[in-house]
Chains A and B, each alone.
Chain A
Amino acid sequence: DQQVKQNSPSLSVQEGRISILNCDYTNSMFDYFLWYKKYPAEGPTFLISISSIKDKNEDGRFTVFLNKSAKHLSLHIVPSQPGDSAVYFCAAQRSGTYKYIFGTGTRLKVLA
């Protein structure tokens, strides 16, 4: 049972435009969410996080939005750059636990 879903395996965006990556979850007990970025031959690197008490968190070009009623979060990258081309994973943590449940990832390709 996939509790964290990224339904788009890939996304292509023109340089300078907005990239929107989506993530859905099923467990209403999740209270902390993160996005990781992964380049080939490297481990995932932490990008941005959001607590369930917020609906938005911003860090430079990256903004994460959380819609608790829809159990949906999204990562916006504005403007997109070719160096943003990578696989993006969303992850969720349930209150009182220590592990993160990861989605299957979305491969973003930013076209120059």
Chain B
Amino acid sequence: DSGVTQTPKHLITATGQRVTLRCSPRSGDLSVYWYQQSLDQGLQFLIQYYNGEERAKGNILERFSAQQFPDLHSELNLSSLELGDSALYFCASSLTGGKGGYTFGSGTRLTVV
């Protein structure tokens, strides 16, 4: 157990629907990152939050949004889902967000049918 908790582990939904992925960071970590891994692709950075505020943004689609709550858990909202959104979504956390590695959760596998 890495200490980063992601729920749900698996999600199957239809095109056009909206889903919410949840992440609880490791205790004490202030920074949360979201990454997307599509089939045979590397991890694509989506967005980072630090202590409740957005700090960095990657190639995140406008249909996607995220937030970090006062208790530091984060949610990634995916709307108007398309087949191509099927992927593994990883959340990671770190203490400060600077140098050093992240701790990753085990991911949420999203399947859009």
Which B residues are within 8 Å of any A CB, using their own CB?
A: 2, 4, 31, 33, 35, 40-45, 48, 50, 55-56, 58, 90, 92, 97-107
State the Cβ distance, A7 to closest chain B Cβ, in Å.
Answer: 12
On whether the beta carbons of B100 and A49 are closer than 8 Å, the reply is: yes
27 residue pairs from A and B, CB less than 8 Å apart: A2-B42, A32-B99, A34-B101, A41-B106, A42-B106, A43-B92, A43-B104, A43-B105, A43-B106, A44-B43, A44-B104, A45-B2, A45-B104, A46-B101, A46-B102, A89-B43, A93-B99, A98-B48, A99-B33, A99-B45, A99-B56, A99-B58, A101-B45, A102-B44, A104-B40, A104-B42, A105-B42
- For residue B91, which residue of chain A has the nearest CB? A43
State the Cβ distance, B95 to closest chain A Cβ, in Å.
Answer: 12
Which A residues are within 8 Å of any B CB, using their own CB?
A: 2, 4, 6, 9, 32, 34, 36, 41-46, 49, 51, 89, 91, 93, 97-105
On whether the beta carbons of A98 and B97 are closer than 8 Å, the reply is: yes
9 interchain residue pairs of minimum CB distance: A43-B104, A46-B101, A104-B42, A102-B43, A102-B42, A99-B45, A98-B97, A43-B106, A44-B104
